[in-house]
Amino acid sequence: MLASNIPYLHCRNGIYYYRNQSTWKSLKTRCKKKAFNLLIDVLYGTMRGTVDKSTYLEVSYDAKASKPQSFSAVASFPKFGVLIKAYLNENRHSWCAREYTRIESSLKLLPKSNITKEVAIELKQSLLKDKTIQTFNRYLKYFNAFFRWVIANNADITNNPFDGLKVIEKKTSSASKRNAYTAEHLAELFRFSNKYGKDDIRYWLIMLGRYIGARMNEICQLKPEDITEEAI
């Protein structure tokens, strides 16, 4: 029995099975997409409704036997927990390690219950209380990508509850977000540079920074010939 790239889904002689350790159940299909939908039914009963425990079957498996030995109820699994694992496993090859970690951490923020539009809006409001708009929009990008995959791989889900929830951030220049030096700041700079004296290179680094506003690493790259009476 070969494992697919979807948790709990295995293929044996072309037929797909649900399997969790010694627990297994034939899904009676050779189509991977149909097997995925049936797997969700086995785990949860339905993606939209409440959990129907009568659909959960545990089969004790004897490796030497060709048929299952007995059946009993098994515990339920979080709906989106399995979907998230399947999504990450199927697409991880297309992400670098850093991006994979970001996506995995973001998807952990999703509720484990059925996510409606109302639930998505509540999550948005909750995240915006302590996250920046930029951070929220990054989370939203990962949520939308995940739901596009879910819709493409599950016939029972046709809507993305996070569609249209992006927050439009007013664009401002980075310079407008910085405060200018006050007179007290400038006086402090002069006192600091005078402590070194004009024969110390640190004095001129501070003075150049004071007058041209360049970063220190940019000033340190200057050569004597770069500085003239007219310009730097």
Q: Where are the domains of the chain?
A: 2-72, 79-153, 183-226
Q: How confident is the model at residue 106 (pLDDT cuts 50, 70, 90)?
A: very high
Q: How confident is the model at residue 83 (pLDDT cuts 50, 70, 90)?
A: confident
pLDDT number for residue 100: 93
pTM over 0.75: no
**Residue in the block written with tokens 């402590």:** 195
Q: How confident is the model at residue 44 (pLDDT cuts 50, 70, 90)?
A: low
Q: Assess whether pLDDT exceeds 60 at residue 62.
A: no
**pLDDT tens-digit readout, 176-226:** 667 777 888 888 888 888 888 889 988 988 888 888 888 888 999 988 888
- Rounded mean pLDDT of 4-27? 74
What residues pair up with 72 in beta bridges, in sequence order?
58
